[in-house]
């Protein structure tokens, strides 16, 4: 039995893949023999991301707005046109434009967070299903958050959308089986640009409450992601795997 899940011949689409967790997953797909389409709203960020791949023939970048259903359809279409198939969809893109009490959030930031974090799971999964996976099968992986498991100061609306991602994972897993497996990963605090406001000035304080005594890195999440989208996980669907260094698994009172 191999310890590294092969993705030889597979084609993946990863949203929000110009940096952080999405980029790490995309790089892992190529390292394991697959091909990948990466998407982002920023053309310059995508160009920088492309430069990190050693095999340019295995990677294609598409500028797209993850909150747009039209862009979701176009993104899936272009993936199939470029590489001839779509085996893996990773719904990774996320945003968090608001920090504060739920009672004070404005409509614009509430809607943006909903469109990117929650609605995009539906639109991209639907596009993948209708254009390829409904006939040929495949795997969907959603990137949720430990924030979706409970309340947290300042991050209420973001966490609500991530709780929705966890439920959408269960719903899609039930609806799309047995053709398509659907799972999710719920990371804790990972050293990414999206989470920079949480860890940059508070790393020592944060790591003091993490049993593994360090922040997560994008590769920590990517390794689990690559296993979940491979045949190594062929009997796993509808599950959310927590990767948080043990933060959510502590006795009352926390770690001393």
Q: Which residues are catalytic?
A: 158
Q: Which helix (H) or strand (E) holds 140?
A: strand 138-143
Counting Cα atoms < 13 Å in the Cβ hemisphere of 172 gives 30
Pairwise CA distance, residues 53 & 59, whole Å: 8
Pairwise CA distance, residues 168 & 162, whole Å: 10
145-167 exposure pattern, b = at least 16 Cβ within 10 A, e = fewer: bbbbbeeeeebbbbbbbbbbbbe
Closest CA relative to residue 240, chosen from 175, 144, 176: 144
């Amino acid at each position: 039995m191999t310890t590294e899940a092969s993705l030889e011949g597979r084609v993946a689409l990863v949203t929000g893949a110009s940096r952080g967790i999405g980029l790490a997953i995309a790089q892992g797909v190529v390292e394991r023999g697959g091909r990948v389409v990466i998407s982002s709203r920023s053309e310059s960020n995508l160009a920088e991301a492309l430069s990190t791949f050693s095999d340019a023939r295995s990677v294609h970048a598409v500028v797209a707005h993850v909150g747009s259903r039209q862009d979701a359809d176009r993104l899936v279409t272009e993936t199939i046109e470029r590489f001839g198939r779509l085996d893996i969809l990773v719904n990774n893109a996320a945003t968090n434009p608001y920090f504060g009490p739920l009672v004070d959030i404005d409509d614009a930031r509430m809607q943006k967070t909903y469109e990117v974090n929650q609605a995009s799971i539906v639109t991209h999964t639907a596009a993948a299903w209708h254009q390829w996976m409904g006939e040929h099968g495949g795997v969907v992986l959603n990137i949720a958050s430990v924030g979706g498991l409970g309340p947290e100061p300042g991050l209420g609306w973001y966490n609500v959308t991530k709780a929705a991602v966890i439920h959408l994972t269960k719903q899609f897993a039930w609806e799309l089986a047995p053709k398509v497996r659907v799972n999710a990963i719920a990371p804790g605090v990972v050293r990414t640009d999206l989470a920079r406001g949480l860890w940059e000035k508070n790393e020592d304080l944060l790591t003091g409450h993490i049993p593994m005594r360090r922040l997560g890195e994008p590769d920590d999440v990517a390794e689990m992601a690559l296993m979940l989208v491979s045949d190594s996980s062929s009997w796993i669907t509808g599950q959310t795997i927590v990767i948080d260094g043990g933060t959510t698994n502590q006795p009352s009172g926390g770690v001393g």
